[in-house]
Amino acid sequence: MNNARRTLVSIAVVMFAAGCGGGGANGGFSPVLLPAAPPAPSSPPPAAPPPAMPLAEKCPTLKGQTLAAGAVAIDDAKVVAASAPQPEYCVVTASFKGSTLRFEARLPTSGWNGKLAFIGGGGFDGQMPTATAAQFSESIFTERYATVGTNGGYDYPGATDLNYFKGEFALDPVKLLDFTQQSEHRALPPGKEVIAQFFGTAPTRSYFEGCSMGGHDAMMQAQRFPEDFDGIVARAPAGNIMGLFMQFNRIAKQVRVSANTLNPAKQTLLADAVLAQCDGLDGVADGIISKPAACTFNATALRCAGGADNGDSCLSDAQIATVNTITSPVATSDGAWSHTGYNFGAENSPKGWGEYIWPQAAFGGASVQGLFSDGFVRSFITRDPLFDTSAWNPDQWLSRMGIIGGMFSAADPDLGRLHARGAKLIMWNGTNDTSVSARDNARYYEQVVSTLGAQKADETVELFLAPGVGHCYGGAGPDKVDLLKAMSTWVEQGVPASAQKLVHRKVDGAGATTMARPMCKYPAYPRYKGVGDVNDAASFDCVS
């Protein structure tokens, strides 16, 4: 018998002997449980993973890495200390190989909320935008978003240099395409990639916020790249960019003649007359016209006898023509491009007509509108740096206008793809803005409603006008409102901004609220109830 058989026999004998005999009253068989086999030796526990590298230490290790399968290089990555209102950030700068397009990501080193806020630029771009600018929402910092912004496709070292306004980058077709429509769309994927590398996970939501040209870029995302963002905030959006530059040029040509301009005394004369007729339309005389669409002021009421300039108590015919040029619409002969003109209400405001319309010594005697429109006409349209912009007639350049408009215009009212995706758009404009016309954006919104139908439009886009507010911020009216927070609530909780009872606030240097008005969805406006503190939003209703 071999060893195996001997072992089996021994086990059988032991089992049988233990199970037989007088174990019970009847001498029956009682099963016996064998003792459990000793447990196998346990494996040693796996080693604990190494502690995660603190994000502040991880930040500089990003430098030199590549993104987008090698198409984008991270040029620098460094920690920037907290400085109110900003928390501590890892600032990453990256560039596209073979291109002058660059982007910057700011990644909070603690408390990241898991979301991305892409921020738009302004003017002719050429520099990295910063979310500390007054036109951006406070929640970018208070809720610790990761942010990404681009240089618009090229670098310009100093925006205070008058050469900046020449827009000569537009003579380069690659830079032109990046600036007019592509830079944010191209930078979004590698921007998300660097966020994922840094935090170990991609953002759960992606939002966009921008004002002016950044607002134009916001509209471009909504119309041409609706798949890119969950929610888009477009403040003072220059979507109708072709009409805007036409109006800029038209006004600039008018005010280049000194006899056509209004001196400060005449500006005040005009402003007082406008307020006398239109200020009370909202129920309170407070220096703010809350219902500009109903302000039908006619400057001929101030005409000097005989039409010549007879002093500061009246306007000459030439000056009345200037007022009419500013406030009236313009269009090309084929109707392809047009602009509504600007509202009354900011005639003597440094954040109104004074900021953009009147010639300024600081700009060599030119106006801001004139500088930008000269650059547009010479670099985008005629491609002639010596072209006499005083002689520019858009009707003679319709073919080129069509080419540039096909790249640059963000005024398509068909937001069907944005609606199908379920993404949202908030438009916002100050009524006293004399760069981007609130009247023009109200017309666009009405076109969207007509195109989509009221229900789909309500599910997709809302427009809010801020009475008395200038370009992006400032002016007589309250201008502070956190639209990014409103947008995230709409996207993530399904509550539209118009249902959130939001308030426009004006704050002093210490951050205290000095004036507030309810934020009303267009076409409603804030009307005083007739009782209560006129600086308290609760004293006003939104009425149509």
115-119 and 205-212 strand pairing: parallel
| Number of domains the chain contains | 2
Residue 53 binned pLDDT confidence (cut-offs 50, 70, 90): confident
Q: Specify if 11 maps to a domain.
A: no
Q: Specify if 376 maps to a domain.
A: yes
pLDDT tens digits for 472-531? 999 999 999 999 999 999 999 999 999 999 999 999 999 999 999 999 999 999 999 999
pLDDT tens digits for 123-137? 999 999 999 888 999
Instruction: Check whether residue 60 and residue 116 sit in a common domain.
Output: yes
Q: Specify if 13 maps to a domain.
A: no
pLDDT, residue 157, reads 82
Distance from CA of residue 232 to its chain's centroid? 7
CATH of the domain at 204: 3.40.50.1820
pLDDT, residue 26, reads 36
CA distances from 231 to 208, 332, 506 (A): 7, 34, 26
Over residues 165-186, the mean pLDDT reads: 98
> Strand, coil or helix: what is 372?
helix
Q: What is the pTM of this model?
A: 0.90
Instruction: Check whether residue 102 and residue 224 sit in a common domain.
Output: yes
Instruction: Examine the fold and report which residue of 372, 392, 407 is the final residue of a domain before the chain moves on.
Output: 407
How crowded is the C-beta side of 232, counted as CA atoms within 13 Å? 34
Instruction: Check whether residue 498 and residue 365 sit in a common domain.
Output: no
> Strand, coil or helix: what is 425?
strand
Domain range enclosing 431:
55-241+410-543
Over residues 400-428, the mean pLDDT reads: 99
Cβ neighbours of 505 (radius 10 Å): 19
Instruction: Check whether residue 399 and residue 504 sit in a common domain.
Output: no
